[in-house]
A and B are shown apart, each in its own frame.
Chain A
Amino acid sequence: MVLVLALGDLHISHRAPDLPAKFKSMLVPGKIQHIICTGNLCIKEVHDYLRTICPDLHIARGEYDEETRYPETKTLTIGQFKLGVCHGHQVIPWGDLDSLAMLQRQLDVDILVTGHTHQFTAYKHEAGVVINPGSATGAYSSITYDVNPSFVLMDIDALRVVVYVYELIDGEVKVDKIDFKKTTTTQVAH
Chain B
Amino acid sequence: MISDGVEDEEKWLAAAITGLQQNSFYMHRALDSNNLRDALKYSAQMLSELRTSRLSPHKYYELYMRAFDELRKLEMFFKEETRRGCSIIDLYELVQHAGNILPRLYLLCTVGSVYIKSKEAPAKDVLKDLVEMCRGIQHPVRGLFLRSYLSQISRDKLPDIGSEYEGDADTVTDAVEFVLQNFTEMNKLWVRMQHQGPAREKERREKERSELRDLVGKNLHVLSQIEGVDLDMYRDTVLPRILEQVVNCKDELAQYYLMDCVIQVFPDEYHLQTLEILLSACPQLQPSVDIKTVLSQLMERLSNYAASSTEVLPEFFQVEAFAKLNNAIGKVIEAQVDMPIAGAVTLYSSLLTFTLHVHPDRLDYVDQILGACVKKLSGKGKLDDSRATKQIVALLSAPLEKYNDIETALKLSNYPRVMEHLDDGTNKVMAGVIIQSIIKNRTHISTADKVEALFELIKGLIKDSDEKLHDEIDEEDFNEEQNSVARLIQMLYNDDPEEMLKIICTVRKYILTGGPKRLPFTVPPLIFNSLKLVRRLQSQEENAAGEEVAPTPKKIFPILNQTIEALSAVPVPELALRLYLQCAEAANDCDLEPVAYEFFTQAYILYEEEISDSRAQVTAVHLIIGTLQRMNVFGVENRDTLTHKATGYSAKLLKKPDQCRAVYACSHLFWVDDSDSIKDGERVLLCLKRALRIANAAQQMSNATRGSSGSVTLFIEILNKYLYFFEKGNSEISVSVIQGLIELITTEMHSENMTPDPAADAFFASTLRYIQFQKQKEGALGEKYEPIKA
Contact = CB atoms under 8 A, between A and B. Distances in A.
Given A102-B720, A145-B535, A17 B491 contact: yes
Q: Which of A14, A99, A126 has the most CB of B within 10 A?
A: A14
Contact of B483 (A13, A16, A63, A99): A13
Interface string B470-492: 00000000011001101110110
Given A64-B578, A108-B766, A21 B442 contact: yes
Q: Which of A94, A101, A143 has the most CB of B within 10 A?
A: A94
Contacts of B68: none
Interface string A6-44: 000001111111100100000000000000000000011
B769 A127 contact: yes
Interface in A68-117: 68, 89-90, 92-94, 98-99, 101-102, 105-106, 108
Given A92-B625, A93-B626, A106 B717 contact: yes
B759 interface: yes
B738 to A, nearest CB: 14
A13 B763 contact: no
B122 to A, nearest CB: 71
Interface residues of chain B: helix, strand, loop or mixed (majority)? helix
B606 to A, nearest CB: 14
Contacts of A16: 490
B532 to A, nearest CB: 5
A93 B678 CA distance: 14
Contacts of B668: 92-93
B770 A140 contact: no
A17 B439 contact: yes
A98 B491 CA distance: 38
Given A92-B625, A105-B720, A126 B528 contact: no
B767 interface: yes
B623 A142 contact: no
B524 interface: yes
A94 B668 CA distance: 11
B763 A140 contact: no
B532 A140 contact: yes
A18 B487 contact: yes
Contact of B578 (A13, A44, A63, A126): A63
B773 interface: yes
Contacts of B627: 142
A52 B720 CA distance: 40
B623 A63 contact: yes
B525 interface: yes
A184 to B, nearest CB: 11
Contacts of A63: 578, 619, 623
A68 B721 CA distance: 29
Given A126-B770, A140-B532, A94 B630 contact: yes
A177 B528 CA distance: 32
A89 B623 CA distance: 7
A108 B760 CA distance: 10
A45 interface: yes
Given A105-B763, A108-B759, A90 B622 contact: yes
B770 A142 contact: no
B636 interface: no
A144 to B, nearest CB: 11
Interface string B254-297: 00000000000000000000000000000000000000000000
B665 A140 contact: no
Contact of A106 (B480, B630, B727, B763): B763
Q: Which of B487, B491, B585, B727 has the most CB of A within 10 A?
A: B487
Contacts of A102: 717, 720-721, 724
Nearest to B528: A15
Contacts of B721: 102
B582 interface: yes
B622 A99 contact: no
A93 B524 contact: no
Contact of B773 (A12, A45, A106, A126): A126
A18 B439 CA distance: 9
Contacts of B713: 106
A125 to B, nearest CB: 9
A45 B480 contact: yes
Q: Which of A12, A15, A145 has the most CB of B within 10 A?
A: A15
Nearest to B575: A64
Interface of B: 439, 442, 479-480, 483-484, 486-488, 490-491, 521, 524-525, 528, 531-532, 535, 578, 582, 585-586, 589, 615, 619, 622-623, 625-627, 629-630, 665, 668, 713, 716-717, 720-721, 724, 727, 759, 762-763, 766-767, 769-770, 773
17 contacts: A11-B528, A14-B486, A17-B439, A18-B439, A18-B487, A45-B483, A63-B619, A92-B626, A93-B629, A106-B713, A106-B717, A106-B763, A108-B762, A126-B773, A140-B531, A142-B585, A142-B589
Q: 4 nearest interchain CB pairs?
A: A13-B486, A17-B487, A142-B585, A105-B766
Given A93-B668, A105-B720, A105-B766, 13 more contacts: A13-B484, A15-B528, A16-B490, A17-B491, A18-B487, A45-B480, A45-B483, A63-B578, A89-B619, A90-B619, A92-B629, A127-B766, A142-B589
